[in-house]
Structure 1
Amino acid sequence: MKGFLIALQFLTRLPLPSIMVDDAAFARSMRWFPAVGLVIGAAVAGSAWAGALIDSRLGALAALVVWVGVTGALHLDGLADIADAGGAAHKTQGKDRERLLAVLADPHLGSFGVVAIMLQLLAKFVLLSCLIDEGAFAALVSVPFAARIGPLVWTWWLVPLHQGLGARFRSAIGPLHIMFWMIALAAVSWFCPVLLVTPLLVLWWGWQVRRTIGGVSGDGHGAGIELIETALLLALTVAVRWGLAG
């Protein structure tokens, strides 16, 4: 339970009592990331339902605001950094990896990052509106949960780019932890079969960062979570509209 609270403090901005932890306990808290996703998903779904009592678009706006507010835009920051780095790599035809890593480490926000954040928020708003129109509130709970299985896989699979958070988490994640959450994902997928696409999305993003950057960092984790969340929202929207949501 202590690990869950540590993960909740790290991944959210919810008001929680301060907990003093060492590096080992902090690293082990990553095992609870998907559980934190359930908390985030419940907050998003609840706000979507409440807002939709007035209008579906208001429900989508409320859900999006809560999504960003609860997470403190932590993962959006990673998405922006990855977008800026990708833009720099494109300008050099991908030949200057040092340039790419330098841009990735730069705390300033560039034009590619701004566009990435705007498109991400717009995509989530539109997809949330579609799902709210269909009354798919329960499915929304599962999206942040499924997306946060990704960091466990990437931490175990990919080389950390530097001695940051990724390197600290690596020692605490093993195949058994991933298997546990994959089984949990399979159980949830019994009620929402679309979630079975999650492992493919996780492997796709891992392959992308390995191919373009050579490893994974906190930014890679954050960007991956954001992109998988949006991909799952899109998959759910298509499935609900086609009557395949389960």
Structure 2
Amino acid sequence: MKRLVLALQLMTRLPLPAQHVDERDFAAAVRWLPATGIAVGLAVAGGVGLGMRIDPWAGALFGLVAWVAVTGALHLDGLGDIADAAGAAHGDRTRLSAVLADPHVGSFGVVAIGLQLLAKLVLLRLWLESFSPWMLAAVAMVARIGPLFWTRWLPPLHEGLASRFRAGWRAEAFILWSMLALAASYRAPALLAAVPLIPLWGLWLRSRIGGISGDGHGAGIELLESALLLAMVAAR
């Protein structure tokens, strides 16, 4: 339970009690990342339900605001950093590392974050025509299986939280969460789009960035969430 709370503290802005943890706990928190997706999805569903009292567009907007708030825009920050690095580095790994380390957001990052927010707003509105808001818990959970894959099969880009996750990776956790995702796909088969999308993001990171980092995890989660919404809308 301590490691679940730690994972929630790392990946959300939920008010949780402080935990006494060590390096093994930090590493093992990676096994609980999909569980944080369930919490995120439920929070978003709550925002959607509140907004739907007004109209569907308000439901989509309230859901998007809840999505950003509960994650603290952490994954959006990763998306912006990856976009800046990919756009400005021009294949220069030294330049890439410098851009990733820069706390400022450049033009590539601003455009990527803006487009992601716009995409999620529109996709949420379309998604709500066919699905219960509570299915968002499955979308967010499946998206966070990605870090389990990337942690194991991509080299760490640098020392940091993402590299510490590698020591805590266990096949049992990956298999368990994958089985839960498969069960969820019984209600929404389009969730199976994650099967090719997760390794594709890993391949892109390996070829363009060189490995996995916290930014790579965050960007991947954001893109997977939008891609799964799109797949479900297209398949309805």
- Scaled by the length of structure 1, the TM-score of the pair is 0.93
Partner of 1:232: 228
- The answer as to 2:210 corresponding to 1:214 is yes
Partner of 2:80: 80
Match of 2:121 among 125, 134, 138: 125
Task: Give the drift of 1:120.
Answer: 0.3
Structure 2: stretches of 5+ with no match in the other structure = none
Any conservation in 2 of the 1:50–1:59 contact (CA below 8 Å)? yes
Distance 2:59 2:129 in 1: 10
Distance 1:35 1:232 in 2: 17
After superposition, give the CA deviation of every residue in 1:117-146 in whole Å (9 maximum; x if it has no partner).
100000000001111233432332211100
After superposition, give the CA deviation of every residue in 1:36-67 in whole Å (9 maximum; x if it has no partner).
10111111112112211211110011000000
Which secondary structure does the structure 2 equivalent of 1:112 belong to? helix
Distance 2:130 2:180 in 1: 25
Distance 1:155 1:85 in 2: 20
Partner of 2:57: 57
Distance 2:130 2:54 in 1: 15
Which secondary structure does the structure 1 equivalent of 2:136 belong to? helix
Partner of 1:112: 108
Any conservation in 1 of the 2:86–2:209 contact (CA below 8 Å)? no
Distance 2:216 2:96 in 1: 13
Read off the aligned partner of 1:208 and give its amino acid letter.
W
Q: What are the residue-to-residue correspondences of 1:164-183 with 2, within 5 Å?
A: 164-183=160-179
Any conservation in 2 of the 1:44–1:140 contact (CA below 8 Å)? yes
Read off the aligned partner of 2:28 and give its amino acid letter.
R
Task: Give the drift of 1:161.
Answer: 0.8
Match of 1:200 among 196, 202, 207: 196
With 167-176 and 127-136 compared, the bigger mean Cα shift is at: 127-136
- The answer as to 2:8 corresponding to 1:8 is yes
Partner of 1:34: 34
Any conservation in 1 of the 2:75–2:218 contact (CA below 8 Å)? yes
Read off the aligned partner of 2:66 and give its amino acid letter.
V
Identity %: 56
Task: Give the drift of 1:192.
Answer: 1.4
Task: Give the drift of 1:194.
Answer: 0.9
With 43-52 and 72-81 compared, the bigger mean Cα shift is at: 43-52
Task: Give the drift of 1:236.
Answer: 1.1
Structure 1: stretches of 5+ with no match in the other structure = 241-246
After superposition, give the CA deviation of every residue in 1:189-241 in whole Å (9 maximum; x if it has no partner).
1111111111211101000001111110000000000000000011111122x
Number of aligned pairs? 236
Any conservation in 1 of the 2:7–2:36 contact (CA below 8 Å)? yes
